[in-house]
Structure 1
Amino acid sequence: MTATPILELRGIDKSFGAVQVLHEVNFAAYPGEVTALVGDNGAGKSTLVKCIGGIHPIDSGEYLFDAEPVHVHSPRDAAALGVEIVYQDLALCDNLDIVQNMFLGREKRRGIVLDGGTMEEMAASTLKSLSVRTVKSVRQKVSSLSGGQRQTVAIAKAVLWNSRVVVLDEPTAALGVAQTAQVLELVRRLADNGLSVVLISHNMNDVFAVSDRIAALHLGRMAAQVKTSDLTHAQVVELITAGRSGDLGLADSNGATS
């Protein structure tokens, strides 16, 4: 039997003024799995992620967590549930070290003094739990890190807070072959540790390398969410570009329901 999704969206609509960006979108993210969210530019991926993260309120539909309806009105609400999003710009501060970045805005204190020892131990423990071996010291300045190491720190920062759903926005963009392999290995490890990982990517090789399911958006509608093993590269491209591949997908190429 299929496990219960940690995160599930049902019939999500989102408009900005007269422009409707999301149309009755259904989406599910399961524990221990990587779900790849794919779609062309303008398909609605960013809007859907910002609805998941509480940046954009949904107009209508249901947001469920552990099969229970919840209301997410802000990123703080999403974080309280255990939803963390790593955006493409990573939001890291070059002038701070790894520990300072991982606890930025959530610093541990002992009275009125920062508890640097505890934060350092927690940062090191989190990186170790993810089998990260490319970072020499948690007191390295982020400015000294490679692109792959920066991505690793951003992911570890998300995992640090007992997150259960981690959304990664194009984590391998602008990375070389070796660094991409390291990040994809880390993505897979997150899922193997029981987290639900949502991977946004345009790179079909990355998608097929690590994902368990693929959710394809087309013009603001969910064309299909299918096990990766049941799809070919060509089918995914057709779902992205036309919203349909054979018997799979939306009712017609315009995304209209029949």
Structure 2
Amino acid sequence: MNTSRCKALLGLVIALLNAHLLVARAAELDANALVAAADAIRFPAEPFQVQVRVSSISTRGKNELHEYQVLQKGYDNSIVRTLLPVSEKGQVMLLKGADLWVFLPQVSQPVRLPLSQRLTGQVANGDLARANFGGDYQATLVKEEDINGERYAQMELIAARRGVTYQRVLYWVSLSTHRPYRAEFYTVSKRLMKTGVYQNFIDMGGTLRPSRLVLSDALHKGEESVLEYSGLKTRAIPDKVFTKEFLRKLQN
């Protein structure tokens, strides 16, 4: 084979590899854009507050009811106030960046918590304190599939930074409406922990959003928590609210 033909074949191989990389990169960008679009449907980009009622059902006969008020500003600032049960009222979680603290009544110093720690039932701290997926995960498209006559993208979300709530998530989002449909949450060892289904889309803050999220234990059938969102509204929230110093003053 002469030199010119070798060069031509090498050039063709490089061109094909570059094309493949460009296609893969475009799919990755599209997946991340789709996650961002679904995030915007779940919650507004502007600072907001919302009430969250959590009903946890257990096959072991221990049913629980909790209620929280969540204040959120961007990806990295949130406050979760416990309203019910009365025995836990006054507890406040503060998320600032990647750090999460809980303020307890009668305790002078806040306690640091992981986002992945269970809050109640099937709900982890990060399920309430961190509203969106886009800031924590890198998404890639796995496949497209039809579910109940609608086309969905199934995406794999891999943790993009340390300390996130889940290491891996499989996420289904409608290609036509960008509404989230389903999520599967996995441990570091790739074991399925629980599933989530987004339901009951209603007008909240001028956008049709899921007002109900059902989290089901993947290992223990019948164990689930139902999160019901209400009273969502955008509002101005000063940055100083999301500080330990400000929350300490509220407790004193």
Same fold (TM over 0.5): no
Choose between structure 1 and 2: higher helix proportion. 1
Q: Which has the larger radius of gyration?
A: 2
Using structure 2 for the length normalisation, give the TM-score: 0.30
Give the strand-richer structure, 1 or 2: 2
Larger relative contact order (C-alpha < 8 A, sep ≥ 6)? Answer: 1
Report the TM-score, using the length of structure 1 for normalisation.
0.29
